[in-house]
Structure 1
Amino acid sequence: MPSSSSARKANIITEGLAFGESPRWHDSRLWLCNWGTGEVVAVDEGGTSEVMLKVPAVLPYSIDWLPDGRLLVVSGRQGLLLRREADGTLATHADLRGLSKNPWNEIVVDGRGNIYVNGGGPAPAPGEHFGPGTIVLISPNGAVRQ
């Protein structure tokens, strides 16, 4: 156990989130999804927050970026991967509706621009385990690989 002199103190950089999810570090700020308000928020090191996007999605939704800097948003229940264009509009990057009846959730983009999105299995009954989940690979141009 580290001594109290070597332990670091955690700093709160933002408060009052309804349900913070999908934290990502991007452009020198912490970005996160505030599921309770339907917003994507960016917070700088001093704690100043800015709403970057109102998400037209029902929970769940998560974020990451293409290598060219465009924001991706998983619209989980709609089964869509959305892309924010330079003018702020959202376009469908990939349609995942035919791949799973369950909501999609988390996302990660690798250094080549390949996108990985997971979808959970059906919610279990009490005492049962989750059903099998799915991970889909989407190319940078939006083509879904199976």
Structure 2
Amino acid sequence: MSSVAENAKIIAKGLAFGESPRWHEGRLWLCNWGTGEIVAVSEDGKSRVMLTVPAVLPYSIDWLPDGRLLVISGREGLLLRQEVDGRLVTHADLRDLSKSPWNEIVVDGRGNIYVNGGGPAPAPGQHFGPGTIVLITPDGTARQVA
């Protein structure tokens, strides 16, 4: 019997810091933190830069039910949306809901968006404080839910 590790295959190399992997439209998408790019990789290893996010670090990605890409710009506290024409626009401004960086995102089938944020940075030897989860409804209303 073979282990999963024996069957593992490298499909992408040269990433500076790959984060937030998502399977979408037959490819593995991820944020390359070191370059500020959103990259899609096919099973045969062909990678393509799908989006470069200028001046911000793309922490995490997901898609609205209509197919538009969402990107969390964690340190800036913004949820960005890529329009059909390729422009990035602010979908939601989360800065008033937490001063800590935002991290992961997930979108449900109704278009509700959930974003989590870390707690305050700990002192050396201590744990992070409580984090935050925000719900952004399809009408654009954002509120803390946990």
Q: TM-score, normalised by structure 1?
A: 0.92
1:19 matched to 2:17? The reply is yes
Identity over aligned pairs, percent: 81
1:77 maps to 75
Tell me the distance in 2 between the aligned counterparts of 1:38 and 1:5. 34
2:110 maps to 112
Structural RMSD (CA) = 1.7
2:66 maps to 68
Task: Report the count of equivalent residues.
Answer: 144
Tell me the distance in 1 between the aligned counterparts of 2:51 and 2:93. 21
Match of 1:121 among 112, 119, 124: 119
2:128 maps to 130
- Segments of 4+ moved more than 4 angstroms: 5-8
Contact 1:60 1:104 in 2 (8 A): no
1:140 maps to 138
Match of 2:94 among 73, 82, 96: 96
Question: 1:29-58 CA deviation, whole Å, 9 max, x = no partner?
Answer: 000000001100000111000000001253
Tell me the distance in 1 between the aligned counterparts of 2:40 and 2:58. 18
Contact 1:107 1:118 in 2 (8 A): yes
Contact 1:59 1:76 in 2 (8 A): yes
Unaligned regions of 5+ residues in structure 2, if any? none
Tell me the distance in 2 between the aligned counterparts of 1:96 and 1:57. 18
Contact 1:61 1:73 in 2 (8 A): yes
Match of 2:46 among 45, 48, 53: 48
Q: Which stretch has the larger CA shift, 91-100 or 135-144?
A: 135-144
SS of 2:7's equivalent in the other structure is: coil
Contact 2:75 2:100 in 1 (8 A): yes
Unaligned regions of 5+ residues in structure 1, if any? none
Q: TM-score, normalised by structure 2?
A: 0.92
